[in-house]
C-alpha cells in the first residue's frame, strides 16, 4: 500500500520550485500519495499526481501563526504516514504533530535563520545578536524532536548537528532541455529571483549607466519586489536606463526568459547569510546556457571557475559589473564557450536528479521501506 505524504507551508506559494516542482512531483512520480498544503488562491486541485490544498495568503507576520494552527489541524486529520514542512515558524506545530501522530516529521530549512536575523532592518541592531542566539537555540531544540532536518546547503546543516538525522538536499534546478538561442533577442541581461536591496537591485540598475549605449542592452529584473523604494520604480528613469521590473512571473514563463537572455546576474551583497548559500538562479542560468556574473564569494568563485560559465565581481561595484557584462556581450566566442561549459556542468553535476536520489532515500529510510509502494 502506497505511503501518504503531507507537505506543508504557511508562507510559500503552492508552485514553489523546491517544494512543488521538485520534491512533491518527485515523490508522486515515485509512487507516494502526495498532498501539498501551501499558499494558493484556490481550495483544491490535482496536478501531476499531487493533491494541492490551498492556504490563505496573509501579509502580517502574526497572522501567519493562524495558518500554522490551520495546518496543524489538517495534519491530524490527514492520515498521512510522513510529514514534511518548510517554514521555521511551523517548528512548534511540527513537534506537536510528531508527538500526536508518532509519524516521521521532516523540517526543511531553506536558509540560515540565525544569520538572517542580522540582515533584518526592522530589528534594532542592538537586539539582533542576542535574538539570533535565542532563535538558534530554539530552532535546534525543536528540530531535535523531529525525525530529520533537510537543508539546502552544508553550512545550514552544521546548525543542526544535534538533530537525529540531517540531509543536505541542494536546490539545483530540474533538468532542462537545451535552450536554442536566437540572435534577434537582442542584448538582454537577466536577473531572476527575489528583488531587494541586499540582493543588489540598486547596483544592477546603476550598472546600466556604464554599459556602452551602442549595445542597446536591456536589463530585465524578474521576481517578486521586496521593499523597493518608490524612487527606484520611477517608470521614466527605468525606461531611460532600459530597465524593466517584471515582478513575479509564473514558473514556465521564467524558463522562457532564460532562453532570451545573454547574461545572467546573481550579484547579491557580500553579507554572511549569502556567503555559503547556493542561489538557484545561478544554476538555472547554467542550465539555460546563460553566461553569468556572480558575487565573488569563495564558494561561488570555485563553482564559476570550475564550470567556466562566467565571471565573479565585487557586487557593490556597478562599474566592474558593467565591464564584465560588456565583455560577454561583445565577445561572441567567449559567450558561446561559457554557455556550453555551463550547460555541461548542469547536465553532469548541478541538476535536481542528483539531489532527488537523496530525498527518496531519506523517505525510504524514515518509513522503513525500499520503495514508496512497499507493504
From the number of C-beta atoms within 10 Å of its C-beta (0-12, 13-18, 19+), residue 164 rates as middle
Domains and their CATH numbers in the chain: 4-172+351-367 (3.40.50.2000), 183-348 (3.40.50.2000)
Q: Residue-wise pLDDT tens for the chain (375 aa)?
A: 789 999 999 999 999 989 999 999 999 999 999 999 999 999 999 999 999 999 998 766 666 678 999 999 999 999 999 999 999 999 999 999 999 999 999 999 988 666 666 666 667 777 777 877 877 788 889 999 999 999 999 989 998 999 999 999 998 988 888 776 665 678 999 999 999 999 999 999 999 999 999 999 999 999 999 878 888 888 899 999 999 999 989 877 887 888 899 999 999 999 888 888 888 899 999 999 999 999 999 999 999 999 999 999 999 999 999 999 999 999 999 999 999 999 999 999 999 998 999 999 999 999 996 444 443
pLDDT of residue 371: 46
Written as nine digits, the cell of 233 is 520604480
Q: Which residue has the cell 546576474?
A: 265
Average pLDDT, the chain: 90
pLDDT of residue 48: 96
Write a three-state SS string for the chain: CCCEEEEEEEEEECCCHHHHHHHHHHHHHHCCEEEEEEECCCCEEEECCEEEEEECCCCCHHHHHHHHHHHHHHHHHHCCCEEEECCHHHHHHHHHHHHHHCCCEEEEECCCHHHHHCCCCCCCHHHHHHHHHHHHHHHHHHHCCCCEEEECCHHHHHHHCCCCCEEECCCCCCCCCCCCCCHHHCCEEEEECCECCCCCHHHHHHHHHHCCHHHCCEEEEECCECCCCHHHHCHHHHHHHCEEEEECCCHHHHHHHHHHCCEEEECCCCCHHHHCCCCHHHHHHHHCCCCEEEECCHHHHHHHHHHCCEEEECCCCHHHHHHHHHHHHHCHHHHHHHHHHHHHHHHHCCCHHHHHHHHHHHHHHHHCCCCCCCC
**Model pTM score:** 0.78
pLDDT of residue 174: 87
pLDDT of residue 326: 98
Amino acid at each position: 500500500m502506497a505511503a501518504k505524504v503531507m507537505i506543508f507551508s504557511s508562507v510559500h506559494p503552492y508552485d514553489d520550485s523546491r517544494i512543488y516542482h521538485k520534491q512533491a512531483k518527485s515523490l508522486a512520480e515515485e509512487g507516494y500519495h502526495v498532498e501539498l498544503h501551501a499558499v494558493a488562491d484556490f481550495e483544491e486541485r490535482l496536478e501531476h499526481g499531487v493533491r494541492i490544498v490551498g492556504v490563505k495568503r496573509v501579509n502580517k507576520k502574526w497572522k501567519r501563526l493562524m495558518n500554522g494552527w490551520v495546518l496543524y489541524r489538517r495534519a491530524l486529520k490527514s492520515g498521512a504516514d510522513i510529514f514534511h514542512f518548510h517554514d521555521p515558524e511551523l517548528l512548534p506545530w511540527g513537534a506537536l504533530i510528531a508527538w500526536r501522530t508518532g509519524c516521521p516529521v521532516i523540517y526543511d530549512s531553506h536558509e540560515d535563520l540565525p544569520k538572517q536575523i542580522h540582515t533584518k532592518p526592522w530589528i534594532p541592531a542592538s537586539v539582533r545578536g542576542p535574538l539570533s542566539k535565542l532563535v538558534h537555540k530554539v530552532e535546534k531544540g525543536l528540530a531535535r524532536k523531529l525525525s530529520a532536518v533537510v537543508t539546502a546547503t552544508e553550512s545550514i546543516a552544521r546548525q543542526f548537528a544535534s538533530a537525529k538525522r540531517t540531509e543536505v538536499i541542494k536546490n539545483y534546478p530540474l533538468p532542462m532541455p537545451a535552450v536554442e538561442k536566437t540572435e534577434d533577442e537582442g542584448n538582454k541581461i537577466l536577473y531572476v529571483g527575489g528583488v531587494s536591496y541586499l540582493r543588489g537591485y540598486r547596483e544592477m540598475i546603476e550598472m546600466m549607466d556604464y554599459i556602452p549605449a551602442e549595445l542597446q542592452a536591456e536589463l530585465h529584473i524578474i521576481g517578486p519586489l521586496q521593499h523597493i523604494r518608490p524612487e527606484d520604480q520611477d517608470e521614466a528613469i527605468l525606461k531611460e536606463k532600459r530597465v524593466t521590473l517584471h515582478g513575479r512571473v509564473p514558473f514556465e514563463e521564467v524558463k522562457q526568459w532564460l532562453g532570451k537572455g545573454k547574461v545572467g546576474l546573481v550579484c547579491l551583497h557580500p553579507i554572511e547569510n549569502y556567503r555559503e548559500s547556493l542561489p538557484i538562479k545561478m544554476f538555472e542560468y547554467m542550465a539555460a546556457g546563460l553566461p553569468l556574473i556572480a558575487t565573488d564569494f569563495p564558494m561561488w568563485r570555485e563553482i564559476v571557475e570550475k564550470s567556466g560559465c562566467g565571471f565573479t565581481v565585487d557586487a557593490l561595484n556597478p562599474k566592474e559589473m558593467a565591464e564584465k557584462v560588456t565583455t560577454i556581450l561583445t565577445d561572441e566566442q567567449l559567450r558561446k564557450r561559457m554557455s556550453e561549459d555551463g550547460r555541461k556542468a548542469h547536465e553532469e553535476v548541478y541538476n535536481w536528479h542528483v539531489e532527488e536520489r537523496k530525498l527518496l532515500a531519506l523517505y525510504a529510510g524514515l518509513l522503513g521501506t525500499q520503495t514508496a509502494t512497499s507493504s
